[in-house]
Amino acid sequence: MSRLSEERVATAKEIIGRFPRKKSALIPLLHLAQEQDGYVAQDAMVHIAELLDLAPAEVYGTASFYEMFKFHPVGKYCINICTNISCQLVGAWNLLHHAEERLGIKSGGTTQDGLFTIEDVECIAACTEAPALQVNYRYRYKVTPESFDALINDLESGKLTGEVPPHGTLASVRQTTTAAWSNRGVEEQAQVDAR
Amino acid sequence: MSVPSGPRIITSRFDVADGHTYAGYVRTGGYVSLRKAVSSMTPQQVHDEVKAAEIQGRGGAGFPAGTKWGFLPAGVHPRYLVINGDESEPGTYKDRLLMERDPHQLIEGIVIACYALNASQAFLYVRGEMAHAQERLAQALNEAYANNMVGRNICGSDFSVDITLTWGAGAYIVGEETALIESLEGERGMPRLKPPFFPAVKGLYMQPTIVNNVETLANVPYIVGKGGGDFKSIGAPTSTGMRMFAVSGHVNKPGVFEVPNGVTTFRMLFEAPEYCGGIRNGGSIKAFIPGGASAMWFFPEHLDMALDKPTVDKAGSMLGSGAIVAMDQTTDMVAACWRIVRFFARESCGKCTPCREGTTWLERVLKRMLDGHGRPEDIDLLFEVSESISPGIAWPPRQTTICPLGPSAVSPIASAVRRFRHEFEHYIEHRRPIDGVESPFATHLASHA
Ligand SMILES: Cc1cc2nc3c(=O)[nH]c(=O)nc-3n(C[C@H](O)[C@H](O)[C@H](O)COP(=O)(O)O)c2cc1C
Ligand code: SF4
Ligand code: FES
């Protein structure tokens, strides 16, 4: 799809300003692209390369290492079901199986209407609340087949629109503060000397 | 069963409804330690308190934080503090809670640590999948800047520091400190070789860098407020302070508990009514993981052991990241072993051949056993491949690899196959688990996994 919007370019510049080196902003900028389009589009990667003085291949080189970045459209709601050890011990595979039947897709697939993607994922740090899942990185704990169905119904009917933003949006609050140091190394040494 | 008690240190605000806000934090005693540090202590004095506390890092290796801080070479600037909030070791669940429920406590710990380290910039790296933690931290950081707890001339002193909040995008290996640094530099998260790339000497942008876990730093406000000696008097002399443990799996009430370190036993956590209240369905422990997926497993004979670092190390495992997973007598050990190995196979960064190839082979061999296609020579093959990743299959593991991830995949094999060899043989011979254990795939073995 698209390059980053003007508003996102402004945000990108703020983010770049918080790092001593431009390339450090690469992963945050990829998240901005995914937030805009629901996935990381090729044009967006070219745009990010321009913003960071990188070759597009360097952008893709880093992006492709990370599981969360998608390079093709996925469902509006990505449901990640943990099947790691603590969840496996209390029925995660049965839950995944149920999810597949309910949505008529296999793990990794997307429903025809583009609404849901399901994935079998590694531990999501909710092990005491197993079996656990995330929908667009928002948690659901101690999930049963019944509560899974209720979740799908609520997502379909739009009941959770406020709580679960479309795929790609992570934090709804951003850091707004900016760092303004001319030469951090020298200033830091001066702080030490002054004490 | 009576259990040892201690103060709630880092979880004290978990029940305070607005404990995550600046107002709630300050009302409950927050930012007092920071004010104390910058107005009445030298950086060296702060460092000395952390040393005296003898707090062991809570990220996995358990290295004393005070000692680590001392590794920064004098006079080299800029230097950085990197906070590891990548929590993704299977079974681990505590850093996320600390970030979501008490973000200011972490921020206060970070600023105090920067003061002690003479660092003026910190990078708080949160796991990508933790949207709520990112949100809470962003909110808290904005408030802390607005109230002069972070930024220029903190609390009116001459000390200034910036915190940059950022997050990853899904990769377990980025929790390893040098991989995290690579990721912070905008690279693929692949570990660096140590030596020469010890972060304290050649870390972020090749500058001196301290990497600490979220829980480690969350303890710093208490240590500076009450003194290192007070902290050290809690728990055992060999494992000081309070510590968070997540207990999951086949217990009645799984939960995350802050308990006196070094004196609480595994049995207490599993059985005491204050904690998990027993094994589910009145069952018994068949095996348990004492410190995350990378740890060697423990068995019923280890139940009365205290959660004390040297004790657990000597018994051949580790407390790692405080992740305890209970498996009762119905657990399919082949399936449990396979699931953990699959994790490492998926998460190997691919930089070293023994890890990239070895973990993949281990996973495939275990998978074919589960699928009913196991071969008689497969058990030997598992050990042979394990040997090539971790010669001697010993503890602590030796490694042919750049980082400890590869050898970690050997832990479940060494644990499960040695102890429950008959279950593996049974799968190979009869294509199903032994009687009395439940396959986790009961409904759809062929379609999945
Ligand atoms: C494969 C691997 C994964 C790791 N994952 C984490 C993690 O998710 N969080 C963490 O704090 N430390 C993790 N560590 C340990 C870090 O490398 C590092 O030792 C730690 O963050 C230091 O903090 P501490 O001294 O405060 O414990 C991991 C280590 C390895 C080898
Ligand atoms: S041991 Fe595995 S994860 Fe670690 S550097 Fe080597 S290939 Fe990467
Ligand atoms: S194992 Fe499923 S959340 Fe940790």
Q: Write the pLDDT tens digit of every residue in B134-189.
A: 999 999 999 999 999 999 999 999 999 999 999 999 999 999 999 999 999 999 99
Can you state the angle between helices A26-37 and A56-63, rounded to 10 degrees?
A: 80
Residue-number span of the structural domain to which B53 is assigned: 22-231
Q: How confident is the model at residue B42 (pLDDT cuts 50, 70, 90)?
A: very high
Sign of CA dihedral B261, B265, B267, B272: negative
Question: What CATH number does residue B119 fall under?
Answer: 3.40.50.11540
Question: What CATH number does residue B372 fall under?
Answer: 1.20.1440.230
Residues with CB under 6 A from ligand 2: B 173, 191, 348-352, 355-356, 401-403, 405-406
Per-residue pLDDT for B216 more than 70?
yes
A195 vs B43: CB contact, 8 Å cut-off? yes
Q: Which residues contact A109 (CB under 8 A, 6 or more apart)?
A: A117, A118
State the pairing for strand pair B80-85/A77-82: unpaired
Output the CA torsion A14→A19→A21→A23 (10° steps). -70
Q: How confident is the model at residue A188 (pLDDT cuts 50, 70, 90)?
A: confident
Domain for residue B5, yes or no? no
What is the arithmetic mean of pLDDT over A160-188? 87
Per-residue pLDDT, A189: 85
**Residue B196 C-alpha to ligand 3 middle, in angstroms?**
35
Domain for residue B14, yes or no? no
Per-residue pLDDT, A1: 61
Output the CA torsion B335→B336→B339→B342 (10° steps). -90
Per-residue pLDDT for A107 more than 90?
yes
**Helix or strand or coil: residue B91?**
coil
Same domain, B246 and B178: no
Per-residue pLDDT, B447: 42
Any chain A CB within 8 A of the CB of B447? Answer: yes
Any chain A CB within 8 A of the CB of B151? Answer: yes
Same domain, B303 and B355: no
Same domain, B209 and B93: yes
Per-residue pLDDT, A177: 84
Domain for residue B102, yes or no? yes
Per-residue pLDDT for B266 more than 90?
yes
Same domain, B46 and B187: yes
Q: B324 pairs with which residues across the strands?
A: B247
Q: Which residues contact B415 (CB under 8 A, 6 or more apart)?
A: B287, B296, B297, B337
Give the rounded percent of residues in chain B with a pLDDT score beyond 90.
98
Domain for residue B280, yes or no? yes
Q: Which ligand has the nearest atom to the CA of B256?
A: 3
Q: The complex's ipTM?
A: 0.97
Residue among A21, A134, A191 whose CB faces B118 most closely: A191
Domain for residue B3, yes or no? no
Q: Which residues contact B118 (CB under 8 A, 6 or more apart)?
A: A188, A191, A192, B43, B77, B79
Establish whether the linkage from the previous residue to B196 is cis, with ω within 30° of 0: yes
Same domain, B189 and B276: no
Q: Specify whether domain A77-157 bears CATH 3.40.50.10490.
A: no
Q: Write the pLDDT tens digit of every residue in B361-412.
A: 999 999 999 999 999 999 999 999 999 999 999 999 999 999 999 999 999 9
Any chain B CB within 8 A of the CB of A29? Answer: no
Per-residue pLDDT, A180: 66
B248 vs A128: CB contact, 8 Å cut-off? yes
Give, in words, the CATH class of A6-63: mainly alpha
Question: Which helix (H) or strand (E) segment is B286 a member of?
Answer: strand B285-289
Domain-ending residue, one of B206, B231, B256: B231
Mutate to test the interface with B, among A129, A177, A193 (most CBs of B within 10 A): A177
Query: What's phi and psi for B18, nearest 5 deg?
Result: -110, 25
Domain-ending residue, one of B189, B206, B231: B231
Residue B243 CA neighbour count, 13 Å, CB half: 36
Per-residue pLDDT, B443: 59
Q: How confident is the model at residue A43 (pLDDT cuts 50, 70, 90)?
A: very high
Q: Starting at the earlier edge strand, list the strands of the sheet with A116-121.
A: A116-121, A77-82, A133-135, A138-140
Q: A117 pairs with which residues across the strands?
A: A78, A110
Same domain, B310 and B339: no
Distance of CA B197 to the CA centre of its chain: 22
Same domain, B94 and B212: yes
Same domain, B66 and B155: yes
Domain for residue B177, yes or no? yes
Per-residue pLDDT, A130: 98
Same domain, B340 and B379: yes
Q: Write the pLDDT tens digit of every residue in B56-77.
A: 999 999 999 999 999 999 999 9
The one-letter amino acid at A67: E
Domain for residue B6, yes or no? no
Same domain, B245 and B226: no
Chain A CB contacts of B331 below 8 Å? 89
Domain-ending residue, one of B213, B231, B249: B231
Same domain, B123 and B173: yes
Same domain, B219 and B255: no
**Residue B356 C-alpha to ligand 1 middle, in angstroms?**
20
- Residue span(s) of chain A under CATH 3.40.30.10 come to 77-157
Supply the Cα-derived Rg of chain B in whole angstroms: 22
Give the rounded percent of residues in chain B with a pLDDT score beyond 70.
98
Per-residue pLDDT, B416: 97
Is there an atom of ligand 1 within 6 Å of B406 CB? no
What is the arithmetic mean of pLDDT over A115-144? 98
How many domains does one find in chain B? 3
Per-residue pLDDT for B200 more than 90?
yes
Q: Write the pLDDT tens digit of every residue in B289-336.
A: 999 999 999 999 999 999 999 999 999 999 999 999 999 999 999 999
Per-residue pLDDT, A192: 84
Q: In degrees, to the nearest 5, what angle opens at C-alpha B133 toward C-alphas B127 and B138?
A: 105
Domain for residue B131, yes or no? yes
Residue A175: name the closest of B25, B164, B313 by CA.
B164
Q: Where are the beta strands (DSSP E) in chain A?
A: 77-82, 116-121, 133-135, 138-140
Task: Give the position of tokens 């992006």.
Answer: A63
Q: How confident is the model at residue B1 (pLDDT cuts 50, 70, 90)?
A: confident
